Copies of this chain bind each other. A is one copy, B any other.
């Protein structure tokens, strides 16, 4: 158990941006929301998975939508609490802990903002060990824990509670609501007991994000290579260093969809994304796929670049980092492997050294 204060947020936001593989929404926005909440209400208690009692009611809260929209359409600040309270009313039980649904950008930070506001502790971990675009793409799905009941709140003040027959249907219905209310809503769903957390979470990822963010910050201050500092912490394969020469991006069906090309000195990397970077091809050959983490970093600073912020001329380094091993099981690959997203290739593990 430890306290998270405003001083920790920069490192957490930067590290969550790296682990978010381009998705999870703008970490800058998440940091601002959390900074305001902590300044107003005081610091947040972060507890480890081991410290959570078995009968705890642990609620993931997050933004759902297209990050391209999220950067322009700001929340009004009441959505997360509205979603949490609607879920509590529907379940007839109050939350005892909050947790990020994903370690990625904004969605790593908004549970901290709501925790400051409500006084609830946050569990150090997340339900993916990275970010993914759809609601059912979480380890709880593999562990048999449903997305429903799912509460959705928008910036207008509309709320709903969904009881879907499957987590895939929860995603489809919530996405339709998201699109019709402006492509950015806030959700509380996939409730876990404390006893379910080992199966449902990757433990320690808020602290890992903070360590990554600190490593980048320190490397910069020491005039060392920040990308090397990241690889020293989490390993990973170097995919390319070069310049973004092309970005195709559309906001479709509530997602940021597209491709980008990074030209290196003697090769070219093409990345495909749906909110997150999902497929990397170098000179026509697949070199990394979902569920491994494909991260795009500013080469000079190690700053992560989200799929909605990517633009022509960015000088970037792309890394591939191994995902949580539960994702590379047959059930995991069925849920989040490249074929689910429509890419005509199988998952291939990363070489031990890139």
Contacts and interface: CB of A to CB of B under 8 A. Distances in A.
A157 interface: yes
A172 B180 contact: yes
Contact of A163 (B160, B172, B176): B160
A294 B86 CA distance: 42
A156 B163 contact: no
A290 interface: no
A167 to B, nearest CB: 11
A345 interface: no
A160 B173 contact: yes
Interface of A: 86, 90, 156-165, 169, 172-173, 175-177, 179-181
Contacts of A158: 162-165, 169, 173
A232 B180 CA distance: 46
B163 A86 contact: yes
A29 B15 CA distance: 58
A157 B146 CA distance: 15
7 smallest CB-CB distances across A and B, nearest first, come from A176-B180, A157-B165, A160-B162, A176-B176, A158-B164, A159-B163, A160-B160
Given A90-B161, A158-B164, 15 more contacts: A156-B165, A158-B163, A158-B165, A158-B173, A159-B163, A160-B160, A160-B173, A172-B180, A172-B181, A173-B181, A175-B180, A176-B176, A176-B177, A176-B179, A176-B180
A156 to B, nearest CB: 5
Nearest to A149: B160
Nearest to A181: B173
B180 A156 contact: no
Contacts of A172: 180-181
Contacts of A180: 172-173, 175-176
Of the candidates A165, A177, A181, the one having the most CB atoms from chain B within 10 angstroms of its own CB is A177
19 contacts: A86-B163, A90-B90, A90-B161, A156-B169, A158-B162, A158-B164, A158-B169, A158-B173, A160-B160, A160-B161, A160-B162, A160-B163, A161-B161, A172-B180, A172-B181, A173-B177, A173-B181, A176-B176, A176-B180
